[in-house]
Amino acid sequence: MGSFKNVKIRTKLVGLVSVLSFFTLLIAGYGIYQAKSIDASYREIYEKDTSATAVAGQAGMYFNESRAVFLRAIMQQVPQERQESLDRMKALDDETDKYLVTLESKAVSAEGKNAMKQLQEQVAKYRSLRVNVLQLSQNGAVDWPSFTAAQQQAKAISGQVEKITGMAATAGETHMAQEGSDIAHNILLMAVVSLLIILLAMGMGTAM
C-alpha cells in the first residue's frame, strides 16, 4: 500500500481510469452479447411456437372448407357440378397438406411429433372414409352411415388441430416466461458488477 501511495497522482488517475474503462467495456460487451442472445431467442419463439399456432389455424381453416365442399359434392345431382366441387375439394386438400407439412417441421418435442403423427393418421383415415361416401352416394342420394363415420373422423381431426394449436401457444408462453426470467437475472448481474466497480473505484480513491 505504501508503494502505491508513492506513485504520482497522474499515474494513479490513469490507472484508475484504465481499470474502470476495462470493466465498463466488459459490462457493455456482456450486455450486447446478452441482447443478441435474447433477440435470437425471441426469433426462435416466433418461428417455432408463435408461427406454429398460425400455421395450425390455416390448416384447420382449409380442412373445414374442404369438409363443406365435400358435403356439397355428395348432395349434387348434376355430374358436372359434382366434379367441379370434387376438383375444388382436391385443391383445398392440397393446401391443407402444405400447412400440415410446415406444421410438422415445427414440431420439435416428442409430444409435438406424436401429436402430428396422430393428426396425419386421422387425416388419412378421414379421406379413406370420404372416398367410400362418394362411391356409395350417387345422384344426390347420400349413404348416411358412411357419411356419419366420415363426419365423426372429421370432428376428431378438428379436435386434434385445436390440441396442437394449444400446445404451440403454451410452448410460446413458457419460452417467453423463461426469457423474462433470464433478462431479470442478467440485469441483476450487471447491477451487482457495476456496484463492485463503484466500490473498487472508491477503494482506489481512498488509497490515493
> 167, exposed or middle or buried, with CB in 10 Å at 0-12, 13-18, 19+?
buried
pTM: 0.63
In DSSP terms, which residues pair with 138 in a beta bridge? 141
Round the CA-based radius of gyration of the chain to a whole number and report it: 32
How far is Cα of residue 152 from the mean position of the Cα atoms in its chain? 29
Asked if 207 contacts 6 with a C-beta cutoff of 8 angstroms, the reply is: no
In DSSP terms, which residues pair with 141 in a beta bridge? 138
pLDDT recorded at residue 80: 92
**Residue closest to 19 by CA, chosen among 208, 202, 200:** 200
HSE toward the beta carbon, residue 111, CA cutoff 13 A: 8
H or E stretch at 106: none
- pLDDT bracket for residue 181 (50, 70, 90): low
To the nearest whole percent, how much of the chain has pLDDT over 90?
31
Give the mean pLDDT of 139-147: 80
pLDDT, one tens digit per residue, over 72-109 is 988 888 889 999 999 999 999 999 999 999 988 887 77
